[in-house]
Amino acid sequence: MTDWAARQNSDGGWAYSRGCSWAEPTAFVLLAQSTGSPGRASFLKAGKFLASLMRQDGGWSPQPGVEESTWVTALAALLPEDLISEQQRRQAIGWLKDKTGRDSSWLYRLRRRLDGDKEELPEGWPWFPGASAWVIPTSLGILAFERALRRGASDRNELQDRIDQGKKFLLARQCEDGGWNYGSIHALGRDGDSYPETTGIALLALNGVPRSSQLEKAKAAARRHFSGCRTAEGIAWLRMGMAAQGETIASAVDPVRRTNMDDALMALAAAPRNPLLT
Q: Which residues bind another protein (CB under 8 A)?
A: 15-17, 19-20, 22, 24, 62-63, 65-68, 70-71, 102, 126-128, 130-132, 134, 136-137, 181-182, 184, 187-188, 190, 195, 197, 230-231, 233-234, 256, 258-259
Q: Which is nearer to another protein, 96 or 209 (CB)?
A: 96
CA 82, CA 44: separation in Å to the nearest integer? 9
Closest CB 208 distance from another protein, rounded Å: 26
Q: Which is nearer to another protein, 44 or 66 (CB)?
A: 66
Closest CB 145 distance from another protein, rounded Å: 19
- Give the pairing type, strands 186-187 and 190-191: antiparallel
Q: Which is nearer to another protein, 35 or 231 (CB)?
A: 231
Closest CB 163 distance from another protein, rounded Å: 21
Closest CB 16 distance from another protein, rounded Å: 4
Residues composing the chain? 278
Q: Which is nearer to another protein, 160 or 259 (CB)?
A: 259
Is residue 22 classed as helix, strand or coil in its secondary structure? strand
Q: Which is nearer to another protein, 164 or 255 (CB)?
A: 255
Closest CB 196 distance from another protein, rounded Å: 10
DSSP alpha helix (H) spans, the chain: 4-7, 23-33, 40-51, 72-77, 86-97, 106-114, 135-150, 156-172, 196-205, 213-228, 232-244, 260-270
Q: Which is nearer to another protein, 32 or 201 (CB)?
A: 201
Q: How far is CA 258 from CA 34, 116, 263, 265, in A?
A: 21, 47, 8, 12
CA 258, CA 265: separation in Å to the nearest integer? 12
Q: Is the alpha carbon torsion for 258, 264, 268, 271 positive or negative? A: positive
Closest CB 127 distance from another protein, rounded Å: 2
Which residues have C-beta within 8 Å of that of residue 147, sequence separation ≥ 6? Answer: 77, 78, 278
Which residues have C-beta within 8 Å of that of residue 202, sequence separation ≥ 6? Answer: 135, 139, 170, 174, 179, 180, 218, 241
